[in-house]
Amino acid sequence: MAAPEPLLTVRDLGVTFRTPRGPVRAVDGLSFDVPHGRTLGIVGESGSGKSVTSLAVMGLHTGAEVTGSVALDGRELVGMPDRELSRLRGRRMAMIFQDPLSSLHPYYTVGEQIAEHHRVHFGTRRAAARARAVEALAEVGIPEPKRRVGEYPHQFSGGMRQRVMIAMALVCEPDLLIADEPTTALDVTVQAQILDLLARLQQERRLSVVMITHDLGVVARVAHEVLVMYGGRAAEQAPVDALFAHPAHPYTQGLLDSLPRLDDPDDVPLRAIPGSPPSLLDPAPGCAFAPRCARAAAGSPAERERCAGERPPLGGPEGHTAACHFAAFPAFPAYEGVAP
Ligand SMILES: Nc1ncnc2c1ncn2[C@@H]1O[C@H](COP(=O)(O)OP(=O)(O)OP(=O)(O)O)[C@@H](O)[C@H]1O
Ligand code: SF4
Ligand SMILES: [Mg+2]
């Protein structure tokens, strides 16, 4: 039986900002799928293009030139008129951000905001929309939802506010949820609770989720598939188990090496990959990671020349690809038992 069509299909996505210093190619040649009921983790350091990618998928790329294709259930979104796009936003696809206060209005109660969202998309009457808001707050684990529906955003803690945002994003039952660093501002315990909540909702509703993060720990917890971005491009794409067991790209290997280990003493500073992100204004001709790459540094002069002069294409076995001339993939049997 053929696999079902993915909900979201992104092909050769490019996003360019025109700036006084020249074009900034923030996203370049990115392709990925998000199947129904699955979670894609997009991971990469600051400036790698994660947020620009998610905004482009949502059609919120004011001022940027977007090329390539973004299809939701087969409908092309790139070039779609704004009116049509805004009907899809909220109704079929929704987004949550790191800072819920920036998306919640301070002068309206959370109940009014959730209810209004429902009314706009479904034309629900006021009382029914309010009842739906109470249900939505209960679904995301807010205690005493009947009382709290009448409170204002500032009366909620950071974690509870993020739950309100999730309730608002999901009240119209979208198929796709994009979560851009939704737990970065929260402490570790609350972060775990929110990630568990998202994982539960994702399973119960067969939601497709794009989870954007700079934290591989978050990816390990919620993602089925992972896209590692570097300098606006895909460095590696793989099922989550394969990525952690057999990282093929030196950048992914560096990210994994920088994760804190259980046996680390408390006073050991976090390891980071030395060097800084590549310039998007004036991209180098070869591999964008070359100046920071341990594999390239350890290579022969001919290998180093290739890394500096020739941009590596994405390649590898079915379902696991990396953009590195010397990507180290394990032999085929290593992939047996890896969840698709
Ligand atoms: N409006 C804009 N004009 C020019 N450049 C922009 C604009 N918006 C984003 N960029 C550039 O695009 C690149 C990618 O930005 P993006 O916000 O997607 O990074 P990110 O991966 O989400 O980083 P972070 O982890 O810090 O959120 C950055 O170099 C950024 O400076
Ligand atoms: S192509 Fe070269 S520089 Fe780029 S990641 Fe691979 S080894 Fe490193
Ligand atoms: Mg971002």
Q: What is the distance in A from the centroid of ligand 1 to the CA of 47?
A: 5
Per-residue pLDDT, 63: 84
Estimate to the nearest angstrom the gap between the alpha carbon of 261 and the chain centroid. 24
Q: Please report, for residues 317, 320, 326, the alpha-carbon distance to residue 332 in angstroms, rounded to integers and kept in the order given.
A: 8, 11, 17
Cα–Cα distance measured from residue 254 to residue 230, given in angstroms and rounded to the nearest whole number = 12
Cα–Cα distance measured from residue 104 to residue 108, given in angstroms and rounded to the nearest whole number = 8
* Rg (alpha carbons) of the chain, rounded to whole number: 21
Residues 6+ apart with CB under 8 A from 105: 113, 153
Per-residue pLDDT, 90: 82
DSSP per-residue string spanning 229-248 = EETTEEEEEEEHHHHHH---
Tell me the CA end-to-end span of the chain in Å, nearest whole number: 15
Structure tokens at 124: 């629900």
| Among protein residues, the one whose CA lies closest to atom 11 of ligand 1 | 26
3-state secondary structure at position 273: coil
Q: What is the distance in A from the centroid of ligand 3 to the CA of 97?
A: 9
Residue with tokens 């851009």: 180
Cα–Cα distance measured from residue 218 to residue 179, given in angstroms and rounded to the nearest whole number = 12
Residue ranges covered by each domain of the chain: 1-92+175-231, 103-173
Q: Is ligand 1 within 6 A of the CB of residue 51?
A: yes
- Per the CB < 8 A criterion, the answer to whether 208 and 179 are in contact is no
Per-residue pLDDT, 339: 44
For a substitution probing ligand 1, which of 28, 48, 62, 95 has the most ligand atoms within 8 Å of its CB? 48
| Among protein residues, the one whose CA lies closest to atom 27 of ligand 1 | 46
DSSP per-residue string spanning 294-331 = HHHHTS-HHHHHHHHHSPPPPB-STT-EE--TT--PPP
Q: What is the dihedral of CA 22, 24, 185, 86, to 10 degrees?
A: 110
Give start and end residues of each alpha helix (H) in the chain.
50-58, 82-91, 110-122, 126-139, 145-148, 158-170, 188-205, 216-222, 240-245, 250-257, 294-297, 301-309
Cα–Cα distance measured from residue 227 to residue 33, given in angstroms and rounded to the nearest whole number = 10
Per-residue pLDDT, 269: 60
CATH superfamily, with its number, for domain 1-92+175-231: P-loop containing nucleotide triphosphate hydrolases (3.40.50.300)
For a substitution probing ligand 1, which of 17, 18, 58 has the most ligand atoms within 8 Å of its CB? 17
Per-residue pLDDT, 72: 96
Average pLDDT, 10 consecutive residues per value, the chain (340 residues): 80 96 95 96 95 94 91 95 90 89 90 92 90 95 96 94 94 95 89 93 94 93 96 97 95 88 65 86 91 94 96 92 91 52
Estimate to the nearest angstrom the gap between the alpha carbon of 258 and the chain centroid. 20
Q: Kindly give the number of the ligand 2 atom that is closest to the alpha carbon of 312.
A: 1
Q: What is the distance in A from the centroid of ligand 2 to the CA of 267?
A: 32
For a substitution probing ligand 2, which of 233, 249, 295 has the most ligand atoms within 8 Å of its CB? 295
Q: Kindly give the number of the ligand 2 atom that is closest to the alpha carbon of 296.
A: 7
- Per the CB < 8 A criterion, the answer to whether 81 and 87 are in contact is no
**Nearby residues for ligand 3 (ion, Cβ within 5 Å):** 51
